[in-house]
Structure 1
Amino acid sequence: MVSVQHGLPVFSFVGALVSLAVVRPAFRSREKPGATGLLLAAPGASLFCIAIGLWWTSIPGWMGYIANNAGVLGATLVTFGWLFTIGEHTETLALTRRLFTVVGGYIAVVQALVLTNPYHQLFIYPGFKLRADPLLDLPIQLNFLHILTLYAFGLVGCVVLVSDILQSSGTRRKQSGALLLSLLPPLLLNVLFAADGTAANLTPLGFVLTTLGVGWAVLRTDFLDLVPVGRARALQNMNDPVVTIDTEGRVIDANPAAQELAGITSEWEGMAVSTFFAACPTLVTRLQSSETGGTVTVTHRGKQRDFSLTVSPISREQGHELGRVVVFREVTRLKEREQQLDLLSRVQSRVLRHNIRNELDVITAQNEVLAAELDGEHARMAERTLSSADRLLSVSSKARTAEELIDHDQTPTTVNLVETVESVVEECHTAFPAVSFSVDAPSACRVETLPALELALENLVENAAEHNTSPNPEVAVTVTATDEAVVITVSDNVPGIPDQELAVRERGEETPLEHGRGVGLWVVDWVVESAGASLTFETGEDGTTARLALE
C-alpha cells in the first residue's frame, strides 16, 4: 500500500499535468475575453503543484530552493491570472498596458526577494508555517503580507463573480458560476493549510477541481466561445441616445450618444431634464409629458434631426414607478427617404396621368385612322398598335387606382357581396361581349369589409375575361357563405395565369428577366391584404380558379 507521504507527491504532479489542460483552449481563443488570464493561471497552478510535490519528496537543498521560487511564482500567477479572467468576463477590469506594468512590477519585486532570500533573509519560503508573533519577525511579516495580498485579490474575484451571478441569467450565469466554483477549492484548501487545519498542503487537489470546473465551462457553457457582452457596455456603445429619468424629472443615467446630443459631457448626474436638454426645448416638452412614443424634431449642431421616441417605465415588483428609460431611434434619413419617395411618386403620377395618357391618345387616334384607310398587313399592324395602346391605358388606370389605394385609408363598411359581384360582372360583360359570364350566388350576402374589395373583384373578373383565349370563352363567378368564411371564386376555361405572372406576384417585385404585363394582380393583393382576406390560385388544363376568402 502506498503511504500518504508518498501518495501526495504523485497526486501533486498529476495535478500539475491536469492544470496544463486549460492552456490549449485558452491559447486557441487568446483574443477573447478571459483567455489571457487563463494563460497565466494554468501554468501558475502547474508550477505551484510541482513545488508542493517536490516539498513532499527527499530533495537536495538546491532543488528545494528552486521549488520554493516556483511555488511563490506559481501562486502569484494563479491569483492574478484568475483576477484577469474574472475581470474580463464580468467587464469590471480592462487589461491595459499600465495594469500589466504594475502587476509585472509587483511579481518582479516578490521574485527578486525570494531568489535572493538566502543572502538577506527578508522573505520566508512557502511551505513553512507562520510563527507565533509575525509582527516581530520581518521575514515572516513580508511573506505574510504577500499571502494576505493574494488572498485579498482572490476574495475580490469571488465577490465580483457573486455579484455577476445575481445580476445575470442564462449562459452568462452558468459561466460565472463555473468560474466561482473553480476558484473556491484551491483557495479554501490553501487557507485551511495555512491555518493549521491540515497536516498536508492539499492545494493541488483544489487545482485539479479547478481544471475540471474550467473544462466544464469551456465544453458545456461555451466559455471563451460565447463572448460575454455586458448590458453596460452595450448601452455605452449604442449609437441611439438613451437616458434614464427618475420620477422627479432628473437624469440619472445617459449613454455617450445622449450626452453628445445634449452637448453635456460631465457633472450631469441628477441634472433636471430641462437643464440637460436645454439646447432642445421641443425635446424637453416631450420628455416632461406623459406620452410614451411618437417622433420629435430637434436642431443639433445647426441641422435638424428626427427621432422616434420609445419611453419604457421602470417599476418595482410592487408596481411603484421608479423612473423612465427613453430610447431615441434616429429616423432622419428614413424621413428624408419617405419625402423623396413621396415626391417621386407625385412626379411619376403626374407624368403617368397626363403625359403618357396624352401621348397614347394621339397614338390611338392616328392608328384608328390608319386601320380604317389601310388594308392587309398594314391594317393589322395598325390594329396591333391600337391593342398595345389600349393595354397601356389600362395599366395607367390601374396604376392610378393603386396610388389612390395607398394614399387614402379606407374604413370597413357593410357590403352586399351579391350586388357587388353582379355589378362587376355586368360591367365586364359590356367590356367583353364575346365572353360568356355566369353568376352563382345566394339572394344576399352581407359582410363587413373595405369598399375597395369591389376593385379587387373587378380586376379578377376582368383578368379572367381579357386573357381568355378559348374559342368559347367563359367566366364563372360563385359566392359561397359558411360559418367560417365567405368565399368568392372566379373561374375561366383557359390554362390560366402564366407562371411568370404568378412568380412576380409571389415575390412582390420584378426582375430584368421576369416581369408582369400589368398591375392588376398587385392591386388585388394590396386590397386583399388590407382587408385581412386571403387569395389563392388553382391552375390546370381545364382553366384557372381564383379563390378570395373573407373570414
Structure 2
Amino acid sequence: MVLAVDVLGVALVLTIVPAVLMTYVAWQNSEKPGARWFSVFVLGIAGWSSTYGYSLVADGTQVTLAAVNLRYFFTDVVTITWFLLALEYVRRRRLSLRSPWLVLFVFPFCSQFVIWAVPEFVYTSWHVDRLGVFHAEFGAWFYVQTLFSYCLVVAGLALFVDDYRNAQGIRRTQTGILVAGAVIPFVANIFFVAGFSPYPDLDLTPLAFLLTTILFAWALFRYRLLELLPIARKTVLAQMQDAVITIDEDDRVVDVNEAALALFGTTERAAIGTSGREFFADYPAIVAECGEASDVDTDIEFEHDGETRHFHLQISPVSSASDLVDGRVVVLRDVTELKEREQELDLLKQVLSRVLRHNIRNDVAVVMGYAEEIAQQTTGDPAALAGQIRDKSDDIATRSQKAATIERVLTGDRERVVHDLDSAIDEAVETVRRSGTSFTVQRPSVDDCRVRALPTLPVALANLVENAVEHGSTSPRSQAPGDAVEHGCETAQSRASAPSGGHDDEVPEVRLSASCDEETVTVEVRDDGPGIPEGELSVFDQGEETPLHHSSGVGLWLVVLIARRSGGSVAFEDDGDDSVVRLTLEKA
C-alpha cells in the first residue's frame, strides 16, 4: 500500500510535463476566446496535482502540511479559470483587463492568508499517517473554500451545457469534451469531501485530473480545440441582417432574431408566445402570404416608417426526424435598394435609348436643315445660319454630357457626403455663368447650413439654375446652352428663332433661397416663367418613360435622380406669379 501511494504521488508530480505541453499548444492561439484561461487552467491542474502528489511522498509532517496548504491556492486557480474559460468560450469574446470578473482572483490570496495565519479555521485537528496521507477534521473556512469552488464549477458547467445544447458539429464535440473533462474530477472531489474515498481522506481528485488531461489533449490535437472556434448557428442567426421568425405548429412565435425585432418594432419578451397572425397584424401582405402555406418564396411590399419597402419573403417548413412538420421559419430580406437599383438601371436604358435618341434626332434634323439651306443659298448672310448650326451642335454635346452624368450617378457609389450649402450654390451659379449665359442672381447668404447628399449635388443645383435662366427669358444672350431642364426640343427651337424685343431682351433674374428645420433643408429656385407642363411632371411620378409620355429634358431627369439618391425630393409648383422648384435634402 505504501508503494502504491508513493507511485501515485510521483505520477501526480509528473503531471507537470503534459500540462506544460498543453499550455504551450493553447498559448499559440492566445488571441482566441478562452485560450488564455485554458492555459492557466491546465497549469492550475498541474499545480493542484503536483502539490498533492508531493504531500504524499514528502518527508516530515510540516512539509506535508505546507504542500496541502499550497494545494488550496491551485484549487482556487483551477475553479476560477474554469469559470472564466466558460465565459469567454461561450460568449466568443475575450474579457478585458478591466472585467469585474477578475476580482475573483482576490479570493485565493485571502484564503492563503487565512490558511497560514489562522490554521485552526481550516483544520481543527490534523495528522499524517504512515502512508503519507493527510488526515484532518475540517473547520469553517474549509467549507467556505469548498462552497466558493463548487459555485464556480457549477456556473462554468451550466454555461458549457447550455452551449452544448445549442451547438452543432465540431463545436458540439469540443464542448462535450470540455464538460466531460470537468465533470470527472468534480464528481471525484464530491466523493472526497463526503468521505466516500476508498482509502480514508485520500483525495482522488488529482487522479481524476489525469483523465481530464488525456481528454483535453485529445480535444487539442484531434478536434483542434481553441484553434477552430466554429460560429454557433444561434450567433449567426442573431447577427443576420435578414429578419427571421420561427413559428411552431400551433402558429405561435417561438424565436425571433434582432433584425426581426427591429423591423417590427417589438421586444423578444413581447413577441415570444404571440400568434403569428397577431405578430404580423400590421402587415396584411405577410398575413396574406402566410395563411396555411408552409412553403412560400415571393416578393412583397408594405409601408414601413412612412415609406414603401420591398421584401423577399421565404417561408420554409421545419421538420423533425420523423418528417412531421413542427413549424415554419419566416425570412424577410429587405430588397428595397435592389428594386430601386433595377428601376434606375432601367431608367438609364430608357433615357439613353428613348429620351436622348429623341432629342438628338430632332436636333440633328435641325442641323441638317440649316446645313442644307446654307448649301442652297446663293445670297444672304450664311454666317447667321452657321451660328445656328454651331448652337445646335453645342446642344447635342451638352445633352450627351448630361446623359453621361446620369450614368455616373446611377452606377456610382451611393455614399452621401456633407456639403456646405452656400458653397454648393456658388459652385452651381458659377458653372452656369461659365457657359456664357447672362443672368442675375438674387439670394441671401446661407451661413452654417450643411446638407448630406451625393457628391454631385452642385450638378443638380446648376441644372435648376440653368432651368430658371432659360425658362425666365427668351433673350438669345440669356439662353442656357443645351438641355435646360424645362424645355423640349420644339420649345427650344421656337424660342431660338423668336424675334428679340420687350421682355425677351431682358436679362433673367433667378431667385434662390433656403430654409432649414431640425431635419431637412429646402432650397427654393424661382423664376417668372409659366412652369413645367403636367405631361412632363407625370413622367417623374411614374418613374419611367413611355412611348406617349416622356420628358425631353435630360437635365430634369438628372435633378430628380440626384435628389432621390441623396434621400431627398424635388417638388415643382406654379404659384401664379412664379415658377418654383423646391429641392429638399437631409440636414447634416
User: What is the letter of the counterpart of residue 47 of structure 2?
Assistant: L
Matching residue within 318, 343, 352 for 1:339: 343
CA distance in 1, matches of 2:315, 2:125: 62
The equivalent of 1:383 in structure 2 is none
The equivalent of 2:286 in structure 1 is 283
Larger CA deviation: 2-11 vs 76-85: 2-11
Give 3-state SS (helix, strand or coil) of 1:207's partner. Answer: helix
Query: Where do 1:465-484 residues align within 5 Å?
Result: none
The equivalent of 2:270 in structure 1 is 267
The equivalent of 1:299 in structure 2 is 303
User: Contact 2:126–2:135 at 8 Å: present in 1 too?
Assistant: no
Structure 1: which 5+ residue stretches go unaligned? 132-138, 366-551
User: What is the letter of the counterpart of residue 36 of structure 2?
Assistant: T
Matching residue within 297, 314, 330 for 1:310: 314
The equivalent of 1:41 in structure 2 is 41
CA-CA distance at 1:71 after TM superposition = 0.7
CA-CA distance at 1:325 after TM superposition = 1.2
CA distance in 2, matches of 1:124, 1:205: 25
User: Contact 2:41–2:77 at 8 Å: present in 1 too?
Assistant: yes
The equivalent of 1:186 in structure 2 is 185
Q: TM-score, normalised by structure 1?
A: 0.56
User: What is the letter of the counterpart of residue 37 of structure 1?
Assistant: W
The equivalent of 2:414 in structure 1 is none
CA distance in 2, matches of 1:361, 1:105: 91
User: What is the letter of the counterpart of residue 270 of structure 2?
Assistant: E
CA distance in 2, matches of 1:332, 1:148: 57
Matching residue within 211, 214, 233 for 1:212: 214
User: Contact 2:123–2:136 at 8 Å: present in 1 too?
Assistant: no
1:57 aligns with 2:65: no
CA distance in 1, matches of 2:12, 2:102: 32
The equivalent of 1:172 in structure 2 is 171
Q: Quick one: structure 1 residues 275 and 112, their matched pair in 2 at CA, closer, same or farther if it must change by over 3 Å? A: farther
CA-CA distance at 1:308 after TM superposition = 0.6
Q: Quick one: structure 1 residues 66 and 122, their matched pair in 2 at CA, closer, same or farther if it must change by over 3 Å? A: closer
User: What is the letter of the counterpart of residue 175 of structure 1?
Assistant: Q
User: What is the letter of the counterpart of residue 347 of structure 2?
Assistant: L
The equivalent of 2:232 in structure 1 is 230
Larger CA deviation: 191-200 vs 237-246: 191-200
Percent of aligned positions that are identical: 31
CA-CA distance at 1:356 after TM superposition = 7.0
CA distance in 1, matches of 2:339, 2:103: 52
User: What is the letter of the counterpart of residue 45 of structure 1?
Assistant: I
User: What is the letter of the counterpart of residue 240 of structure 2?
Assistant: M
The equivalent of 1:221 in structure 2 is 223
User: What is the letter of the counterpart of residue 48 of structure 1?
Assistant: W
CA distance in 2, matches of 1:174, 1:234: 19
CA distance in 1, matches of 2:310, 2:111: 59
1:9 aligns with 2:13: no
CA-CA distance at 1:169 after TM superposition = 3.6
The equivalent of 2:353 in structure 1 is 349
Q: Deviations over 1:288-325 (max 9, x none)?
A: 46361212223333333221111112233444433211
Matching residue within 312, 328, 331 for 1:327: 331
The equivalent of 1:27 in structure 2 is 27
Q: Deviations over 1:240-269 (max 9, x none)?
A: 211122344332221121111111124332
Q: Quick one: structure 1 residues 233 and 216, their matched pair in 2 at CA, closer, same or farther if it must change by over 3 Å? A: same
Give 3-state SS (helix, strand or coil) of 1:196's partner. Answer: coil
User: Contact 2:271–2:279 at 8 Å: present in 1 too?
Assistant: yes
Query: Where do 1:49-88 residues align within 5 Å?
Result: 49-59=49-59, 63-88=63-88
User: Contact 1:89–1:228 at 8 Å: present in 2 too?
Assistant: no
CA distance in 2, matches of 1:340, 1:64: 83
Q: Quick one: structure 1 residues 82 and 226, their matched pair in 2 at CA, closer, same or farther if it must change by over 3 Å? A: same
Give 3-state SS (helix, strand or coil) of 1:271's partner. Answer: coil
Q: Quick one: structure 1 residues 320 and 99, their matched pair in 2 at CA, closer, same or farther if it must change by over 3 Å? A: farther
CA distance in 2, matches of 1:186, 1:312: 45
User: What is the letter of the counterpart of residue 71 of structure 2?
Assistant: G
Q: 1 or 2 for the larger relative contact order (CA 8 Å, sep ≥6)?
A: 2
CA distance in 2, matches of 1:246, 1:6: 61
CA-CA distance at 1:337 after TM superposition = 0.6
CA-CA distance at 1:64 after TM superposition = 4.1
Cα RMSD (Å): 3.9
CA distance in 1, matches of 2:227, 2:67: 36
Q: Deviations over 1:477-532 (max 9, x none)?
A: xxxxxxxxxxxxxxxxxxxxxxxxxxxxxxxxxxxxxxxxxxxxxxxxxxxxxxxx
Count of paired positions = 360
Give 3-state SS (helix, strand or coil) of 1:294's partner. Answer: strand
Q: Quick one: structure 1 residues 121 and 209, their matched pair in 2 at CA, closer, same or farther if it must change by over 3 Å? A: closer
CA distance in 2, matches of 1:46, 1:52: 10
Q: Quick one: structure 1 residues 151 and 129, their matched pair in 2 at CA, closer, same or farther if it must change by over 3 Å? A: farther
Q: Deviations over 1:372-425 (max 9, x none)?
A: xxxxxxxxxxxxxxxxxxxxxxxxxxxxxxxxxxxxxxxxxxxxxxxxxxxxxx
